[in-house]
Amino acid sequence: MNPPIQIVIFGASGDLTARKLVPALLGLAQKGSADLQLIGVARRPLTDTGFRAQLRGQLPEADRGAFEAFQGCIHYVQGDVEGDLEGLAKRLDALGPSVGRLFYLSLRPNLFVPAVENLACAGLLAQENGDPWRRVVIEKPFGWDLASARALNHTLHRLLREEQIYRIDHYLGKETVQNLFAFRFNNAIFEPLWNRHHIELVQITVAEELGVERGRAAYYDTVGALRDMLQNHMLQILALVAMEPPSSLDPETIRDQKVNVLKSIRLWPSEPCVRGRYGPGDIGGQTVKGYLQEDGVGADSDAETYVALRAEIVNWRWSGVPFLLRHGKRLPKRFSEVRVQFKVPPIQLFDRFGEDARTLPDGLTCSLRPNHLTLSIQPREALSLGFGVKVPGSGMTMAPAELAFDYRDRFGGQTAPAYERLLLDALQGDPTLFLRDDEVEASWQLADTVCKSPLLEYPAGSWGPPEAENLFHGCEGGWSRG
Ligand SMILES: NC(=O)c1ccc[n+]([C@@H]2O[C@H](COP(=O)([O-])OP(=O)(O)OC[C@H]3O[C@@H](n4cnc5c(N)ncnc54)[C@H](OP(=O)(O)O)[C@@H]3O)[C@@H](O)[C@H]2O)c1
């Protein structure tokens, strides 16, 4: 990609920049995907050399080689986004006057508006006919509720065209999440089954062993699990699972279909949500403290660290199919997956009264496990199809078996980090994997309807409040254990 591109990161000394953004840029630079200049901006006084030294010290060993090769393209500008950004404008022009510029707001959300306003005041967002492009990446959270998300969209639209705005959700940069889309729309064999006639239920889980991350408690305490994870990442996954096939790969065509699904989600009418907060407990033989004892958490906190939700999608494809979403911290195991559970056969021929027998909602006895299609997002990026096979021998006894695909086995090595893919797309002007204004508002519209059910305590290291099992009422099965 020529000519060079300037990436301006606001929040250059922050955690996200060091852990995700700079490694992603190094990956792009190393692969020759783009000719880049990185300009870091934050309030603290630093020279270019000081900034480079700081980044070098924060990088994992594996990135050091790429850093040494790239460091000459790294610069620093001291600046406050709540003030005048003329100094930044001059420095950018001195480094390259007529180049494309990506402004990445890796800032606290209350700084998004002042940052964009002051960028506009400094003439840095103007993109008239023939001007080099100007784009702004906005980190999450995008708003705290529907009203604030709408207000933020409104302000941004005064200063930027929608096609200049890139609202990031890093889950969309993950290979397996993108593979949801590819898998569904490149393989005709599943499409006839992908509906209420054949699917019993869909579970989406993001389970974490970690508690609240160091230094993030104050932020987390204001949002909780519903706003931090379910409203954005998990609803995005749901949209990809449930959307109608787009007629092309045009970004707006794809995003239209996602918005249609998000607008069709309704909560289960009776008690659709379970909220929990971890107390002290044991994980992997280690005793850990409860959420309220974590540094930075308020004594009167009402933030949930666990949320489980049952919803339905009211359209012809999905009507009546439960979508069960669950996210929790301090659970026994770290895994994220989508599990599509198919209906059992209408007549049970095999093992009707075997050891494993259970009664189905329609009264039939069944020892067959339903077929599952599981898309694992992390820690493995994999896909498996569970089915039953006959155990060798004289009887007709069935046992579970699996067809499995693993990204690493098939393609080797690590897949590219999510931020690398998303940064490249933003540099190339492809908004497909970023959230459009109406998409983010539709997600908040749903999240706002989730009423605050009472907060139930669960011990760290358990699977969360047992009450969450009630969300399976009338369905076959229970929550996946990964
Ligand atoms: N960290 C993560 O894992 C993560 C994950 C997902 C999303 N995010 C989102 O990413 C954003 C950044 O998070 P973070 O964890 O990196 O935050 P952070 O570690 O607190 O860093 C904030 C950065 O902003 C700079 N800053 C603060 N006020 C400023 C101002 N007025 N003008 C210019 N720079 C200013 C700070 O440097 P100075 O104090 O020197 O100005 C610092 O570099 C947030 O929106 C967060 O929600 C973070």
Number of domains in the chain: 2
Expressed in angstroms and rounded, the spacing between residue 15 Cα and the centre of ligand 1 is 7
Question: Does residue 70 or residue 396 have the better pLDDT?
Answer: 70
Looking at the structure, tell me whether residues 198 and 248 fall in a common domain: yes
Domain of residue 210 covers: 172-472
Looking at the structure, tell me whether residues 358 and 231 fall in a common domain: yes
Q: Identify the pLDDT of residue 209.
A: 96
Position 320 confidence tier, pLDDT thresholds 50, 70, 90: very high
Expressed in angstroms and rounded, the spacing between residue 451 Cα and the centre of ligand 1 is 30
Question: Does 415 have pLDDT greater than 90?
Answer: no
Position 356 confidence tier, pLDDT thresholds 50, 70, 90: low
What lies within 8 Å, CB to CB, of 216 at 6+ separation is none
CA distance linking residue 269 with residue 59, whole number of Å:
49
Domain end residue (candidates: 124, 139, 154): 139
Judge whether 298 lies within some domain: yes
Which domain CATH number covers 134?
3.40.50.720
Residue nearest ligand 1's atom 37 by CA: 42
Expressed in angstroms and rounded, the spacing between residue 95 Cα and the centre of ligand 1 is 24
Q: Which atom of ligand 1 is nearest to the CA of 170?
A: 6
Question: Does 250 have pLDDT greater than 90?
Answer: yes
pLDDT tens digit sequence for 275-317: 999 999 999 899 999 999 999 999 999 999 999 999 999 999 9
Judge whether 147 lies within some domain: no
Looking at the structure, tell me whether residues 124 and 227 fall in a common domain: no
Looking at the structure, tell me whether residues 192 and 323 fall in a common domain: yes
Which sequence positions are flagged as catalytic?
233
Q: Which atom of ligand 1 is nearest to the CA of 216?
A: 15
Which domain CATH number covers 315?
3.30.360.10
Residue nearest ligand 1's atom 7 by CA: 140
Weakest-pLDDT range from 157-171, 225-239, 297-311, 446-460: 446-460
Q: Which atom of ligand 1 is nearest to the CA of 114?
A: 31
Expressed in angstroms and rounded, the spacing between residue 104 Cα and the centre of ligand 1 is 11
Q: What is the mean pLDDT of the chain?
A: 92
Position 392 confidence tier, pLDDT thresholds 50, 70, 90: confident
Contact 425, 176 (CB under 8 A): no
Looking at the structure, tell me whether residues 288 and 418 fall in a common domain: yes
pLDDT tens digit sequence for 257-270: 999 999 999 999 98
Q: Identify the pLDDT of residue 163.
A: 96
Q: Identify the pLDDT of residue 353.
A: 53
Residue nearest ligand 1's atom 21 by CA: 14
Judge whether 478 lies within some domain: no
Question: Does 161 have pLDDT greater than 80?
Answer: yes
Expressed in angstroms and rounded, the spacing between residue 168 Cα and the centre of ligand 1 is 15
Q: Which atom of ligand 1 is nearest to the CA of 16?
A: 16
Residue nearest ligand 1's atom 19 by CA: 14
Expressed in angstroms and rounded, the spacing between residue 248 Cα and the centre of ligand 1 is 37
Judge whether 154 lies within some domain: no
Q: Identify the pLDDT of residue 1.
A: 47
Weakest-pLDDT range from 9-23, 58-72, 101-115, 231-245: 58-72
pLDDT tens digit sequence for 89-147: 999 999 988 899 999 999 999 999 999 999 999 999 998 878 899 999 999 999 999 99
Residue nearest ligand 1's atom 1 by CA: 16
What lies within 8 Å, CB to CB, of 172 at 6+ separation is 178, 236, 418, 422, 433, 434
Residue nearest ligand 1's atom 10 by CA: 106
Question: Does 352 have pLDDT greater than 90?
Answer: no
Looking at the structure, tell me whether residues 114 and 189 fall in a common domain: no
Residue nearest ligand 1's atom 48 by CA: 16
Judge whether 46 lies within some domain: yes
Looking at the structure, tell me whether residues 190 and 132 fall in a common domain: no
Ligand 1 pocket mutation pick from 13, 16, 169 by most atoms within 8 angstroms of CB:
16
Expressed in angstroms and rounded, the spacing between residue 17 Cα and the centre of ligand 1 is 8
Ligand 1 pocket mutation pick from 43, 118, 220 by most atoms within 8 angstroms of CB:
43
Looking at the structure, tell me whether residues 114 and 199 fall in a common domain: no
Contact 116, 160 (CB under 8 A): yes
Question: Does 252 have pLDDT greater than 80?
Answer: yes
Position 350 confidence tier, pLDDT thresholds 50, 70, 90: confident
Q: Provide the percentage of residues in the chain whose pLDDT is more than 90.
A: 79
Domain end residue (candidates: 89, 121, 139): 139
Position 397 confidence tier, pLDDT thresholds 50, 70, 90: confident
Mean pLDDT of 363-373: 73
Question: Does residue 46 or residue 62 have the better pLDDT?
Answer: 46
Domain end residue (candidates: 97, 118, 139): 139
Looking at the structure, tell me whether residues 241 and 322 fall in a common domain: yes
Looking at the structure, tell me whether residues 115 and 177 fall in a common domain: no
Looking at the structure, tell me whether residues 184 and 124 fall in a common domain: no
Weakest-pLDDT range from 354-358, 401-405, 447-451: 354-358
Looking at the structure, tell me whether residues 333 and 257 fall in a common domain: yes
Judge whether 106 lies within some domain: yes
pLDDT tens digit sequence for 59-89: 988 899 999 999 999 999 999 999 999 999 9
Judge whether 151 lies within some domain: no
Q: Identify the pLDDT of residue 413.
A: 73
Instruction: Please give all residues whose beta carbon lies within 6 A of any atom in ligand 1, as ranges.
Output: 10-17, 41-44, 80-82, 106-109, 111, 139-140
Judge whether 385 lies within some domain: yes
